[in-house]
Amino acid sequence: MMRRNFLWLVPIAAALLIALPIGAAAQPVTSPDAAASLTAQGAVFTMTNAPSGNAVLAYVVGPGGSLIPAGDFGTHGKGTGVSLADQGALALTDDHRWLLVVDAGSNAVSVFRVNPLASGGPILSWVDRVSSHGILPVSIAIHGSIVYVLNAGTSSVPGNIFGFVLTDHGVLLPLVGSSRALSTSASTGPAQIAFDPAGTVLVVTEKSTSVLDTYRVGPLGYASGPTVTPSNGSTPYGFAFGRGGTLVVSDAGPGALSSYAVARSGALTVESGSVTDGQTAACWVATVDGGHYAYTSNAHSDSISTYAVGPHGVLTLLVPVAATTGAADTDLAVGGPHDHYLFVYDAGAGEIETFEIGPGASLSLQYAVFALPPTVEGLAAF
């Protein structure tokens, strides 16, 4: 409680984004050139999701996990101004060369080139913007050059997934005929799409129907399916993959994580069913240390819980409250040198926090960036 009170006593200039090292004075850095002059150790990206014009907010990761503002970059599309209730609105390629972002308010996807951190120039360059081939894109999956976008749809327009090929020049080429339905033509409240580690199965969570959709992906990138599996717990939300390719999914209803084995066919088998953490609204998930540990953000408890992922995907709750956050923690991303930091977006506080990951996936708060726009959505980091 003392930490939270201390953070809120820091003066916040409305026009500035302030990087605050815990236990030190605030040091505003507003120039991308100033940011680039520091020893960068990675980057963090979020987006404004503003209906007047979406933009990516970029930060370089400085010494000790500090977040140094490195500019904002328009997507040439629009946001919605309200939460997308998703995970994966921004996605990086494995080589960190390209950043893809949903423009949910204009049914599009934008592509940015991520420039070398030591170049001294802007960290992002806008490259392309294409139709998402659906309504209300909320999440992006990338494996190699294959990209799939999850379109949530509306009460009158069904949601779907649609595939693209990402070229070496950052252009998204549609995979003609790749549109696939979700579990039903009714509203499903989909939250996330992602590939399994092998890139042969796509997974989609549906909050409203409490099911998991899986799609088998062929060598040319075309998906078949879905195979629809009832979620072990109600309101499946975010997910990540743990050791051995185990699928670790948050059950927002009971405040828990469940784990599943994923077959090459896309069939899911429960390994651990709804291991509760005693918190409320477990929604976003991240894994670390080769998938040996999983975090979930508890949006209604302002906390993060830590689980161990066993050799057969069995989940064990390690620490119900591994960290407390500003307010309504939502998105999670892992990055920095050797994936040494967990970055957390607190929607209720308008801040991004940096936690150092220690032995046994312990968390230690290091920095916070304040005064983010209230419409901010999503996190991606390296």
Note the pLDDT of residue 119.
84
Note the pLDDT of residue 118.
84
Note the pLDDT of residue 284.
98
Report strand pairing: 256-262 vs 247-251.
Answer: antiparallel
Instruction: Let me know the angle formed at the C-alpha of 84 by 113 and 221, rounded to the nearest 5 degrees.
Output: 55
In one-letter notation, the amino acid at residue 223 is: A
* Residue 307 token pair: 């689980």
Q: How confident is the model at residue 144 (pLDDT cuts 50, 70, 90)?
A: very high
pLDDT, averaged across the chain: 91
6 membership: H or E segment, kind and range: helix 2-8
DSSP state of 17: -
DSSP state of 42: -
Lowest mean per-residue pLDDT among 38-47, 82-91, 150-159, 293-302: 38-47
Of all residues in the chain, the percent with pLDDT exceeding 90 is 88
Note the pLDDT of residue 372.
97
Neighbours of 356 (CB within 10 A): 16
CATH of the domain at 331: 2.130.10.10
pLDDT at 177 over 70: yes
Q: Residue 226, preceding bond cis, omega within 30 degrees?
A: yes
All residues at 6 or more sequence positions from 371 whose CB lies less than 8 Å from its CB, including other chains = 12, 13, 14, 16, 17, 18, 350, 351
* Residue 250 token pair: 């948050």
Number of domains in the chain: 1
* DSSP state string for 114-139: E--TTSSS-SEEEEEEEE-SSSSEEE
Note the pLDDT of residue 9.
27
- The residues that bridge with 109 in the sheet, in sequence order, are 102, 130
0.95 exceeded by the pTM?
no
Can you point out the beta strands (E) in 152-222? 160-166, 172-174, 180-181, 190-195, 201-206, 211-217
pLDDT at 324 over 50: yes
All residues at 6 or more sequence positions from 349 whose CB lies less than 8 Å from its CB, including other chains = 325, 326, 327, 328, 370
Domain span at residue 16?
2-381
Q: How confident is the model at residue 94 (pLDDT cuts 50, 70, 90)?
A: very high
pLDDT at 341 over 70: yes
* Residue 100 token pair: 């893809």
CA distance 224 to 73: 36
DSSP state of 4: H
Task: Say if residues 81 and 50 touch (Cβ distance below 8 Å).
Answer: yes
CA distance 69 to 60: 7
34 membership: H or E segment, kind and range: helix 32-37
Report strand pairing: 90-92 vs 67-74.
Answer: unpaired
